[in-house]
Each structure stands twice: as C-alpha cells, then as structure tokens.
Chain A
Amino acid sequence: MTSTRAVVTEGLTRRFGDFTAVDELDLEVATGSVFAILGPNGAGKTTTVRMLATLTAPTSGRAAVCGHDVVTEAEQVRRSLSLTGQFAALEDNLTCRENLVLMARLRGHSRKDAATITDRLIERFDIVEFADKLVKSVSGGQRRRTDLAASLVIQPQLLVLDEPTTGLDPRSRMEVWSSVRELVSDGVTVLLTTQYLEEADQLADHVVLIDHGRAVASGTPYQLKAQIGEQRVDVVTSDVAAFDALVTALSGRFTLTTNRERRSLSIPAPDETADLAAVAKAVHATGVTVDELALRRPTLDDAFLALTGSPSSHPAEETA
C-alpha cells in the first residue's frame, strides 16, 4: 500500500486526569517530507509523539502512521516507524556498539547482519572513537548520536525525533541536522519536535506551532517567517529609568515590542545590518547607556507574539 501521507491525525486528544495535554490535534505529514512540531515546554510535543509511536494511547480522536491506525494496528505502526525519544534511551551499562547490535537484533536482523549494520552506523555517525565505551561514560552529544543511530538499524518509513538537538553544542547540532537531511534524501519521512524556531526553519518543509496541546499556527517556514518577520534588534538597558527614556525617544521612529520587566525592547530589522546601524545611531543619540544591543534571529517567543498575538504562556528556553 502506498500512501502520500505518512502521518494523519484527526482530533487527536490525550488527557491526564482533568488535564488536557494534547487537544484536538489535526496533522498531516506528507510522505518524504520533514515535518516539525514547534512548541515550548509542556506544549504537548512528547505526548503527541508518544501517541504516534504507540507508547501512549489517545484518549480520543485517531492517528494513523503509514496508513495504519496507532491503536488497532499498533504492530504495523511499530514496524513502520523508528522513534528517538527526548531522553536518550540506551542501556548505560552496555557499550555503544552493544546497544546498536541489540537494537538491530530486536528488529529481526541475524547476528551477522546486525554486526554489519552496526559497523556501518558506527562509521556513518562518527561513533568509531567511543564505540566500545560504556554508554554511561560517553558525553551527552556522543550519546545522542548513538541514540539516533539506534533508531536507524532499519530504514524506517517514518523517523520520529523528539527534540533531537536540545542540549547539544552547535557543532553536534549541525551534525544532527546534516544526518536528518541525508536521511530525507534517502526517502525517509521525518517528524521532529523542537523548541527552536531556527531548527524548524533549517530542516522542515512544514511547521506546526503548538501550545497547550493545540495547534496555533501552521505552514511552511517561509509562510511563518513572513508573518514573524526576519531578524530583530534587541536592546537591553541597565535600569528602568533608562528603559523608559529610551522607549520615549524611540517609539516615534521604530515599531517597538517592549518588556519593561526585563528592560528590553525589540525592533524588527528586515534590512538586517542597515536596521541595526539605524537603531544603534538612534540609541547613541539619546545618550542612554545600554547593556546590550544586538541583531538576532526571531525566537519562539517572537513567533508566538506574531502568530497568536499573545506571548507563549510558558517561558521557552531559547538559547539558539
């Protein structure tokens, strides 16, 4: 059976007691694409992913992976997808190689095939150096790479990655990104969750922004960015008096988004460095001293503000 949609959910809902973690979610992931679920802490990303991977049962609504219902055809779903969970799920007291071999064997490969596949993955994910170290003694990034490799002991039709780069340094993050791109060129559909707008932008063909378990915006990164705006200039002052003075001085000339508590204001910078220079000049002219003045990419917070008109209710850990 061929399907043009690797994942379809309709009214997918999961409650924990009175609390609704995922609320009437409708998703459609095109086969061969990269789909990103973007949301802050507690938005319901992991719960959604766990329902797709048959680890958590939906309270109501339905979901199908590669044409198979996650409840009634769980076994076929498990054959079609591979999950790399948010927290590395490896056996601490086995080596990286032993973990990979175990996963390959559990996927049904013979001993010989499992060894071959493991060797190939160790090469491909640059695990060679620490392949025979116990997982408990390798670094976070190395563990993450092994974890990702463990999901690829078969070529899944759908690869699900729950926050694949959270906690990784920039170099490891780039490596994960390039692995994902490579997999996509091999024809794997990828569904990933992230808290980083930039990550969704870099990788995804389609992004859905969720908060409180609900989809609040959805589209291609291009469409979303058009709404969010590109770069911004951030200014942070050292005290409230300076902040107030600056807001008064600048509000006539720029579109300001202000946060008095953090003493910060933010100005859209579609022309990037030109805008940065203009803002810097204006700030300098006021004579107010600032702690920080910088050009930066929009964050998840900006996205929420722009797309939903209200800030996300959870503080997002945006450090990218």
Chain B
Amino acid sequence: MTTISLSPTVTPRRFTGEVGLLVGRGFRMLPRVPERLLDVTLQPVVFTLLFLYVFGSALHITDPAGHPVRYQDYLLPGLIGQQLVFGLIGTGTATANDFASGVIDRFRSLPVHRLAILTAQVVGQVLEQVLGLVIVVGIGLICGWRPTFGIGGFLELVGLVLLGLLASTWLGVLIGMVFRSSDAVQGVGFSLVFPLSFLAGTFVPIQGMALVPRVIGEWDPIAALVASVRRVCQGTPSSGSWMLEHPELAMVGWCVLIIAVCVPLALRRFSRS
C-alpha cells in the first residue's frame, strides 16, 4: 500500500472547488427549508414598512444646513445598515446550527482545507444577506426613496456594502462557533446589535440624542456604516466626531479590523477543539 508522503499542497483551484461544493450544498437545501430565509425575506419587508410608516409620520428631519429631508431618504440608508448588521445574527444562528449537526465534523475529518469550510459558510451567508438588502432597497424605492448617486456612487455603495457584509458575516461565524447554540447567539446578538443599530443614527440623527447615547453613537461602528451609506446615497454629510466626519474611512477601518481579528480567531477555534 502506498501513502502520499508529499507535503500537502493547496492550490487555489482546489480551494475554490471545495468552497464551491460546500456553498452549493447550502443552496441545494434552501428550497427544502424555506423558513430559514425568513430573516432575509419577510423581516426586511416588515421592518422597512414598519419604520417608514410609524416613524415617518411623526419625525421631521433636517439636514445639517437646516433644510427638511424626506423621511424615506433619511431612513433607507439607515435600514440598509441595519439589515446588514442583523445579518450577523442570521449568520451566527446558521453557523451554530450547522456546527451542532455533526456534518461539519465530518467535513473536518476530510482532507478539505479548513479555511475552505469557513469560507463557504461566509460566502453562503453573504449571498443570503444580499437578498435581504435587495428587498430593503426594492421596498424603499417603491415607497418613494430616491437616492441621488450616479454610476460611480452606486459602485461605491456596492463596494461598501460587500465589505460590510464580509465583516459582519465573519463576526457572525465566529460568534456562532463560540456560543454553539442558536438560542445563545440570538440572545447575545439582539442585546448587542439592537441598541447599537438604534444609536447609530439609523432612525433619528445622533446629534439630537442625550450625551451618553450620543457619544456611543458617535463611535458606534454601525454609525460609520449608516453615515457612509447615507453620504453615498444622498450626499448628506455627517459630523460630530472624527469617525462621523470621515465615515467611509472609518467604516473601512472598522471592517478591516473586524475581519483581521475574526478570521484568524475563527480559524484557530475551528482547527483546535
């Protein structure tokens, strides 16, 4: 009997092949458990309509120059940010469930690169979350949201959103692996993401908040996300802290930081256990 004694080589082709197979596995299952997609289908529809018509009827928002802003145009960039960070909880839940099932252990016992298993988890989740964002944008447009960007602005938006999704998804995968149970992920996720997404200038401007929430909001990563999406979509400037004065830079910084921390931690956790 012969064994391969060469040192293992991971070619990019083999790596992408493995990721492709594992992503394909996830998508093949989706039509059989459509309820798994509720957080990127029903939830964005409900949230968008709810916030638009509940808050929109009472809030009168002005831009920094004092001109009134239509609430659709204020809210939609905020909702894009919120949907994006809620993806973290969806990813965490899916990862915790997946890892509890024993299938992931079987993959780990195969000569499949472990980063490929995690990458597939991230890619699959990013694709699902894109669906949620498309729904938010679609409903927003139907309800009167009018972004003002051109082609360049649109590409910038896509770039920002994809980077944001990558960061939130890697964080979600790590959280799902650390907490193991989907209930725990939901508990931790909502008690963290909910307040942070409300303080981030998503629904009302940060400037008007009391001191403590305002300071948190001014340094909230979600605020950088929302402010940069808002600047790209409507050309609205933001201010209040260094972060809000440079929202795109801050957002890219946050995302790179999150990814740089989460990927090695997730990989280490995944390889050990």
Residues of A within 8 A of B (CB): 1-2, 31, 53-57, 66-68, 75-76, 78-83, 85, 87-94, 98, 102-103, 105-108, 134, 150, 157, 187
B102 near A76 with CB under 8 A, answer no
Per-position 1/0 for B69-107, Cβ under 8 A of A: 000000000000000000000000000000001110111
Per-position 1/0 for B23-35, Cβ under 8 A of A: 0010011001100
Of all chain B residues, which has the CB nearest A82?
A: B109
Interface size class of B (residues with CB under 8 A): 20 to 34
Per-position 1/0 for B135-172, Cβ under 8 A of A: 00000000000000000000000000000000000000
B8 near A75 with CB under 8 A, answer yes
Across the interface, which residues of A come within 8 angstroms of B4, CB to CB?
76, 79
Contact of A91 among B5, B29, B105, B108 (CB under 8 A): B29
Shortest 7 CB-CB distances between A and B: which pairs?
A75-B8, A89-B102, A89-B106, A93-B29, A78-B111, A93-B32, A83-B109
Does B210 sit within 8 A of A, measured CB to CB?
Answer: no
B2 near A106 with CB under 8 A, answer no
Given contacts A31-B1, A68-B3, A91-B103, contact A98 B109 (CB under 8 A): no
Contact of A98 among B8, B28, B112 (CB under 8 A): B28
| Distance (whole angstroms) from the CB of B93 to the closest CB of chain A | 16
Given contacts A79-B4, A106-B18, A106-B21, contact A55 B32 (CB under 8 A): no
Contact of A1 among B5, B25, B105, B107 (CB under 8 A): B5
A76 near B5 with CB under 8 A, answer yes
A107 near B110 with CB under 8 A, answer yes
A79 near B111 with CB under 8 A, answer yes
Does B57 sit within 8 A of A, measured CB to CB?
Answer: no
| Distance (whole angstroms) from the CB of A160 to the closest CB of chain B | 9
Q: How far is the CA of A88 from the CA of B28 in the complex (A)?
A: 20
Across the interface, which residues of A come within 8 angstroms of B28, CB to CB?
94, 98
Contact of A106 among B8, B29, B33, B107 (CB under 8 A): B107
Contact of B103 among A80, A90, A187 (CB under 8 A): A90
Across the interface, which residues of A come within 8 angstroms of B32, CB to CB?
93, 134
A89 near B108 with CB under 8 A, answer no
Contact of B29 among A2, A56, A94, A108 (CB under 8 A): A94
For this complex, 5 residue pairs linking A to B, each with C-beta atoms less than 8 Å apart, are A76-B4, A83-B106, A85-B106, A102-B25, A106-B112
Does B272 sit within 8 A of A, measured CB to CB?
Answer: yes
B25 near A91 with CB under 8 A, answer yes
Q: How far is the CA of A54 from the CA of B21 in the complex (A)?
A: 22
Q: How far is the CA of A91 from the CA of B4 in the complex (A)?
A: 30
Does B273 sit within 8 A of A, measured CB to CB?
Answer: yes
Q: How far is the CA of A166 from the CA of B110 in the complex (A)?
A: 24
B33 near A93 with CB under 8 A, answer yes
Of all chain A residues, which has the CB nearest B104?
A: A89
Across the interface, which residues of A come within 8 angstroms of B8, CB to CB?
75-76
Per-position 1/0 for B1-23, Cβ under 8 A of A: 11111001000001000100110
Of all chain B residues, which has the CB nearest A78?
A: B111
CB within 8 Å of A: which of B215-269? none
B273 near A56 with CB under 8 A, answer yes
Of all chain A residues, which has the CB nearest B29?
A: A93
Contact of B109 among A1, A54, A90, A94 (CB under 8 A): A54
A78 near B33 with CB under 8 A, answer no
| Distance (whole angstroms) from the CB of A146 to the closest CB of chain B | 12
A67 near B3 with CB under 8 A, answer yes
Q: How far is the CA of A93 from the CA of B97 in the complex (A)?
A: 13
